[in-house]
Amino acid sequence: MTTQRFENKVAAITGATSGIGLDVVKRLVAEGAQVVAIDRDASAGLELQQQFNGQVHFVQCDVTKVDELKVAIETAESHFGGLDILFNNAGSGGSRQTAEEFDLQGWDDTQALLIRAVAAGTAYAVPAMKRRGGGAIINTASIAGLQAGFGPLAYSVGKASVIHYTKVAASQLSVHGIRINAIAPGFIATRIFGTTLGLDRAQAQSLADLAVARNSAPNPMRRAGQPQDIAQMVLFLASDAGSFITGTHITVDGGMTIGPRHSWDTSIPAPMAEAFGLSPEEIQAMSQIKDKLWN
């Protein structure tokens, strides 16, 4: 029997109708929670509400519109009587501008989605959490916020901001018994890549399914990352098991960022030879000369 870790708990989740957010909704419901599912996708949201009648209440909302976001988060208290957990998760790839081509609208839209909605959502959740005597907030960051090379510039900066925001906010919210943490996922097979490339919902899901079917695995664990890999960490941080954890980020990436690719993929040569300006063959030849001289 599934344990009911979240009985009598109410959660608000943004980006709730797809990928990581959707998996978190299903797991929280399975463990007894009531969930306000927040997303801009109305048809997927209403379907979700119907599927979990009574346990999920859908609110259509574009999280970049802070007035809509406030109403959506306040629905937790007006509809279910309180708020214990907030998962600030909605996101997309955002503007693809480089450091040379500054695009004001693209920059602002990306930061409004990736960091402003996290800050606003948190602020709107605090009054209801204070009335409950505490709460847990989890923000979705990314390994793109930790290192270069994992996402566009505006996206990466937005996700780095989420990580630092989480620390500073934790220092201010702990007095209310509110914990706030971030998760930095690695590559997770969801619709985000397809939708960022302009595919529709079904096509984007097929692309994600393909990554799972091919077990596309650019990580030392050698398997495709899936929404449940992140969702399980979200539930851990939201549960009493995470009660001593605040103001940090947890990387969940199958080890993708433990070191450069050659550190875990033996098909990639180590850059040692390159550092000396030598080819791998010259390095090989050198060891043969040494063997002749000293044996």
Catalytic residues: 155
Residue 68 lies near ligand NAD (rule: CB under 6 A): no
Distances from the Cα of 72 to the Cαs of 90, 208, 209, in angstroms? 13, 29, 31
Residue of the chain from 34, 75, 89, 122 that contacts ligand NAD (CB under 6 A): 89
Task: Give rounded-to-5 percent helix, strand, coil for the chain.
Answer: 50, 15, 35
Per the CB < 8 A criterion, the answer to whether 254 and 211 are in contact is no
DSSP state of 256: T
Residue 95 lies near ligand NAD (rule: CB under 6 A): no
Residue of the chain from 12, 56, 63, 163 that contacts ligand NAD (CB under 6 A): 63
50 versus 279: smaller Cβ distance to ligand NAD? 50
Q: In what order do the strands lie in the sheet with 178-185?
A: 56-60, 34-39, 10-14, 85-88, 135-140, 178-185, 249-252
Among the residue ranges 47-55, 127-135, 189-197, 265-273, the one whose residues contact ligand NAD (CB under 6 A):
189-197
Residue of the chain from 75, 111, 140, 246 that contacts ligand NAD (CB under 6 A): 140
Among the residue ranges 56-64, 118-126, 169-177, 282-290, the one whose residues contact ligand NAD (CB under 6 A):
56-64
Residue 62 lies near ligand NAD (rule: CB under 6 A): yes
Residue 91 lies near ligand NAD (rule: CB under 6 A): yes
Tokens found for residue 13: 């989740």
Residue 41 lies near ligand NAD (rule: CB under 6 A): yes
DSSP state of 53: B
Across-strand partners of 220?
Answer: none
69 versus 173: smaller Cβ distance to ligand NAD? 69
Tokens found for residue 75: 């629905």
Residue of the chain from 75, 122, 142, 219 that contacts ligand NAD (CB under 6 A): 142
Residue of the chain from 64, 156, 219, 246 that contacts ligand NAD (CB under 6 A): 64
Residue of the chain from 111, 181, 195, 246 that contacts ligand NAD (CB under 6 A): 195
63 versus 137: smaller Cβ distance to ligand NAD? 63
- Other C-beta atoms lying within 10 Å of the C-beta of residue 67: 9
Shortest distance in whole angstroms from residue 147 CB to ligand NAD: 12
Across-strand partners of 180?
Answer: 137
Residue 113 lies near ligand NAD (rule: CB under 6 A): yes
Q: At what angle do helices 227-238 and 19-30 cross, to 10 degrees?
A: 50
Residue 20 lies near ligand NAD (rule: CB under 6 A): yes
Residue 96 lies near ligand NAD (rule: CB under 6 A): no
- Return the H-helix or E-strand segment holding 207: helix 201-213
> Cα–Cα distance between 295 and 251 in angstroms, integer?
48
- Return the H-helix or E-strand segment holding 21: helix 19-30
Please count the residues of this chain forming the interface with ligand NAD, following the rule CB under 6 A: 28
Tokens found for residue 263: 């550190």
DSSP state of 150: S
Residue 110 lies near ligand NAD (rule: CB under 6 A): no
Per the CB < 8 A criterion, the answer to whether 170 and 179 are in contact is yes
Contacts with ligand NAD, residue ranges (CB under 6 A): 14-15, 17-21, 39-41, 61-64, 89-92, 113, 140, 142, 185, 187-188, 190-192, 195
